[in-house]
A and B are shown apart, each in its own frame.
Chain A
Amino acid sequence: MVNLTVDNKQVTVPKDATIYDAAKSAGIKIPILCHDKKLHPFGGCRMCLVEVEQMKGRLIPACTTPVTEGMIVRTSNDEIIKARKLVLELLLLKHPIDCPVCDAAGDCDLQNLTYEYKVNCNQFVDEKFNHEIDYVNPIIERDMNRCILCGKCARICDEIVSYGAYSVINRGLEAKIGTEFDGPLNCEFCGSCVSVCPVGALISRPFKFQARWWALSKVKTVCSYCGTGCQLTLGCKDNKVLTTVYDEDQGFHNGQLCHRGRFAYQFVNSDKRLTTPLIRKNGKLVESSWDEALALVTERLAAAKAAPASLAALSTAHLTNEELFLFEKLFRGTLGSDNIDHSAGFAHAALTEGLKASFGTVASPSEILDVQKTNLLLVIKTDAYETHPVIGFEINLGVKRKGVDLRIVSDKRGKLGKLPGAQTTVHTPGSEILLLNALAKVIVDAGLADAAAPGLAELKAALAEVSVEKAAAATGVSADEITKLAKDYAAAEKALILLPIGLGYPGHNAALAQACANLAILTGKYGKEGSGLLVMGEKNNSQGAADLGIHPKGSGLNGSAIIDACVSGQVKTLFVAGENPVVSYPNRAKVEKALDAVEFLVVADLFLTETAQLADVVLPAVSFAEKSGTFTSVGRKVQQVKQAVKPVGLAKSDFDILNTLNASLGGQTYANQNELFAEIAASVPAYAGLSQTALGDEGKLLPVAPSAKLVPVAAPASAPVAGKLALVTGSALYHSGTMSRFGEGPMLVCPNAYAELSAADAKVLKIEDGDAITVKSETGSVSVTAKVGYRMPQGVVFAPYHFGEGSINAVTDGKPVTWVTVGK
């Protein structure tokens, strides 16, 4: 620690702190334009000039100067103020000062500092810039006339996003922030650059001219897309969510968001939202009152109570913990059916069955912060970046700043593989478990296994049948590469495995989670900081749904079995809360047949989804912005969701809907969600003793106590089918589940279903990028747009599952790999 004096205050800070950090810790504000706490110090704008007693004769930039013992710093005096005024005058010389029409006004660092330093005239005169404004892309408007060249956009895109869309181009007075060949911006559109821009040079087009910054009410809540659990500030006005507001102090991610978090909020106030209940009369869904709709649902559920096996309920993991808990109480408790599930049954199995067997708990024995604390990071599928982009940023930071050794085991290449030193092991589709078993085999054979690992003997016996050479032949990865990866993993002091799961990944099941867990347990790499296994749930509350037991516990049917039972006529009444199985479950034709066959289908959702269109009763539910409660994110962090706007139309929260139904069917009534939260804390062991007040703004990371056991897993046979391509499904970077289709950003950037194939396959099939192609399997066929990319190995096709039109689940059947033919 270093002691210094800042404005006559004694400050003690770590030795790697800068003068700016030291002042900040003492509550002294030094003005900055180019500095950002998330980025490497830059020292470009000279606003933070201060005086240091020991370095008199010139002013010192506070943001780049490290503290030294005994330093005496003055952050303001006449000379400093004069220097800062000069900086502002020079910036304002070229700046258009078009604040009345600038969206940044009110939140503009240049505007605020100009006001603070009373720069009301300029001693210089010069022409303004006349740069062309980039209106080409639909998301980010770039007006380089307003730019002050702080470089934060270029630096965040490089340092954290690792996309590198911008650079300072040209030189001297002509220097500006530009893209390659000074063309229009075409990137991931995460909007990190917009969030850090201190002026209005980069603004969000969907929010342009929507509201003045100071007129927005800002509500802190949690994003409702993926399981990362990013904290979010919603900017609301007139009972509408108009934007997301950047707050660099929010969450582990310091306010960083991905495309869907930042630009896909519009579903909340979409004009497609359901505003009244609908009842099917004479084959058509017609508007009804809540009383009529709920009376009908109550009557049918009451009738089903007599034969609980004929009743089933599917939920989405988008609901709050309180709602999921009530969902379980209603269907399992009050109505006595064990046929309850979410995510098709397979997309949560890695947690509910996999980790349950391997670690004795349904939560990962690691947390997101471990990503930057580990030495070796083994990512199963490069898609981890697409499914959880903000965890992807953590990976970028870990590799680039902390020297994390990144290894990717994947069926295709991806952005993560471009990080410095990253090694991608591309294997044949569906051979993940075989590959992981081979890694375990190498570790055991090389004597690197922890002799005390529970279940070692059984695993050894099971691995006796595994041959690294045979695995090499079947996975397409050389024996040497397998051996090296296994030995590197075992040799790393700390190693973390990331496994994304979700509806697009039927192969990421219990067995794969166990095969991953086996590596960690074999080498004792769990239960310590920076080591372990992080199973990344797909939805914002996938972890909560697993914790609260939204899956069959006894002889009940799981999600896929419920669909089959609807077809066979065993299930006659189906309640669907927010799930959209028609699009998101495998084998769309079968799901549609099942929902047609079921006698009474109730769907509670925000939109008239493909599933809701088949319902007998549709109940309008509300989004995360219209309700309060808690979500549990990856790594089991419980965070508070806060209501930002009033429900749209007559829509009610799932809590209200389920509460009313539960009461009228003989169950308990709850006055509010808090009562349910208290009950969760009292009855769910993992949440024991938790209180809503203790969650605060930061949320609470629940401790996970793993009791490890090696579980032998058999690798499924995955032989290629001659003349066919291997179709693997998954997530597109811009989308999450089926709800992001109702957000503006994702639909502007990635509106249509596509299938990605290798240049080599495209050449053989005479397919060009952008062609309409048909993907056909034994299950069905679908027309999508071809995307010819560098990512795919020959013989493999990738398609995201989010889309209703061109739904890839029309050809899938729930297996990890679907063999397809592709043609024009």
Chain B
Amino acid sequence: MSNAPAAEELQTEEEIDLTEANEVIDKYLTLPGNLMPVLQGIQEAYGYVPKPAIALVAERLNAYPAQIYGVLTFYAQFHLKPRGRFIIRVCVGTACHVQGAERITETFFDRLKIGHAETTADLRYTFEKVACLGACGMAPLAMVNDDTFGKMTVQKVDEIINTYNARPMK
């Protein structure tokens, strides 16, 4: 047992190329309060914050892994598991709820075989229920990445899935 956490020891089964993470850290290394931009940069590069990257950040920024984990789990913006290429968000706020949002979410669950905050095995889709997307006039509402789909219906769910199934993964 060592008397201090070492990067090597924290690395686990996950094999990740840390080049990009190192570049992000290089960019912010001298900036005071650099933990947030570093974690955001890493998430942007990998789509999530991989476990080995946390050990790397801890080592290079001389921060405790536990504290980094605390930051990552505090903010909803960070993800610790790989996310899908397309993030489907369905609003379940008040306006969407009364317009039948539940049928929309259930249909997505049924078609994609995943639940809330889960990702398909092929990493194509991640599904999230969200409280409000700020466009209640278009209720019920769904978004796929930055594309918006208003007045959603069960039929439209299949159309959306067909459209994005045809899109390339990269």
**Which of A's residues lie within 8 Å of B, judged by CB?**
154, 158, 163-171, 178-182, 186, 188, 385-386, 414-415, 418, 420, 733, 749-750, 759, 787-791
**In the assembled complex, how far is the CB of residue B89 from the closest CB belonging to chain A, in whole angstroms?**
20
Is residue B168 contacting chain A, with contact meaning CB distance below 8 A? no
The residue among A169, A171, A749, A788 with the most chain B CB atoms within 10 A of its own CB is: A169
Is residue B28 contacting chain A, with contact meaning CB distance below 8 A? Answer: no
Docked CA distance A179–B2 (Å)? 16
Docked CA distance A759–B54 (Å): 21
Q: Within 8 Å CB of B73, what residues of A?
A: 169-171
Report how far A176 CA is from B6 CA in the complex, Å: 25
Give the interface size bracket for B toward A: 20 to 34
Seen from chain B, the residues whose Cβ lies within 8 Å of a Cβ on chain A are: 1-4, 6-8, 10, 51, 54, 62-70, 73-74
CB closest residue in chain B, given A790: B6
Minimum CB distance partner of A189 in chain B = B1
- List, in ascending order, chain A residues with CB within 8 A of B10's CB: 180
**Contact (A166, B66) CB under 8 Å given A171-B74, A180-B54, A181-B51:** yes
- Known contacts A158-B64, A167-B64: does B3 contact A181 (CB below 8 Å)? no
Is the pair A415, B70 in contact by a Cβ cutoff of 8 Å?
A: no
Nearest CB in chain A to that of B69: its residue:
A180
Q: Are A169 and B8 in contact (CB under 8 A)?
A: no
Max count, chain B CB within 10 A of own CB: residue among A167, A179, A418: A167
Picked from B51, B64, B74, the residue with its CB within 8 Å of the CB of A170 is: B74
Contact between chains at B69 and A163 (CB < 8 Å): no
- The reply to whether A167 and B1 contact each other, CB–CB distance below 8 Å, is no
Q: B interface, by DSSP: helix, strand, loop or mixed?
A: helix
A-B CB contacts (within 8 Å), total count: 69
Tell me how far the C-beta of B87 lies from the nearest C-beta in chain A, rounded to whole angstroms.
21
B51 contacts across to A, CB distance below 8 A: 181
- By the criterion CB–CB under 8 Å, are B54 and A418 in contact? no
Contact B2 A750 (CB under 8 A): no
Give CA–CA (A458, B10) in the complex, Å.
Answer: 53
Q: Which of B3, B8, B64, B65 contacts A414 (CB 8 A)?
A: B3
- Residues on B with C-beta less than 8 A from A386 are 3
Closest beta carbon of chain B to A430's beta carbon, Å:
23
Q: Closest CB of chain B to A383's CB: distance in Å?
A: 10
B1-A181 in contact (CB<8A): no
Determine the residue in chain A with the shortest Cβ distance to B74: A171
Q: 24 A–B contact pairs at CB < 8 A?
A: A154-B66, A164-B63, A164-B67, A166-B66, A167-B64, A167-B67, A167-B69, A167-B70, A169-B66, A170-B74, A171-B73, A178-B69, A180-B64, A180-B65, A188-B3, A414-B3, A414-B4, A415-B4, A787-B2, A788-B8, A789-B2, A789-B6, A790-B2, A791-B2
Asked if B62 and A418 sit within 8 Å, CB to CB, the answer is yes
Query: Is B64 touching A168 in the complex (CB atoms < 8 A)?
Result: no
Given contacts A164-B66, A170-B74, contact A418 B4 (CB under 8 A): yes
Interface centre among B2, B4, B6, B68 (most CB of A within 10 A): B4
CB distance from A823 to the nearest CB of B (A): 22
Contacts of B68 in A (CB 8 A): 180
A765 to B: closest C-beta gap in Å = 17
**B63 CB contacts on chain A under 8 angstroms:** 164
Smallest CB separation, B80 vs chain A (Å): 8
